[in-house]
A = this chain, B = another copy of it.
Amino acid sequence: MFRLDEKLSKDCDLVTELHFCQLLLMNDKQYPWLILVPKVSDIEEVYELTREQQHNLWDEVAETSKALKQIFNPDKLNIGALGNIVRQLHVHVVARFKEDIAWPGPVWGAHPPKAYPQDEKEKLIKKLKQKLVPVL
């Protein structure tokens, strides 16, 4: 049975339930940072999913990428499946800007997160849901 990892649950807010993944917003206002968590159990590596599940995951990553592009028009999107700390399979999609605090390095481990003000976070989640619900 799917159960969201405790650290992900603590660090993120739920944006919406996609068909295959939970879509989370990392509570770090330094970058628009989303995390997709496949709703499966006991999987740590992408290749452990069936081929069809992998395609579902990456289709949702692509739709999430497009939503971030449309909302933020970033200089680059960064996609990452690391899992060195949180073992539950999850994929990061981060909108990057030449002016962001970690550019051109990766965001992971770069700077301690800075929480969003509550109202800003709620507005962003609403905007993301509007972009994502119609396409998935």
Q: A46-B79, A106-B106 are in contact. List 4 more A-B contacts (CB 8 A).
A: A45-B69, A79-B81, A80-B81, A84-B104
User: Helix, strand, loop or mixed for chain A's interface?
Assistant: mixed
Q: Which residues of A contact B (CB under 8 A)?
A: 44-47, 51, 54-55, 58-59, 61-62, 65-66, 69, 76-85, 87, 96, 103-106, 108-109
Q: Hey, which chain B residues are within 8 Å of A79, CB to CB? A: 46, 79-82
Q: A79-B46, A80-B106, A106-B82 are in contact. Are A62 and B69 (CB under 8 A)?
A: no
- Complex CA distance for A59 and B54, rounded to whole angstroms: 8
- 5 A-B interface contacts by CB (under 8 A): A58-B58, A77-B81, A80-B82, A104-B109, A105-B108
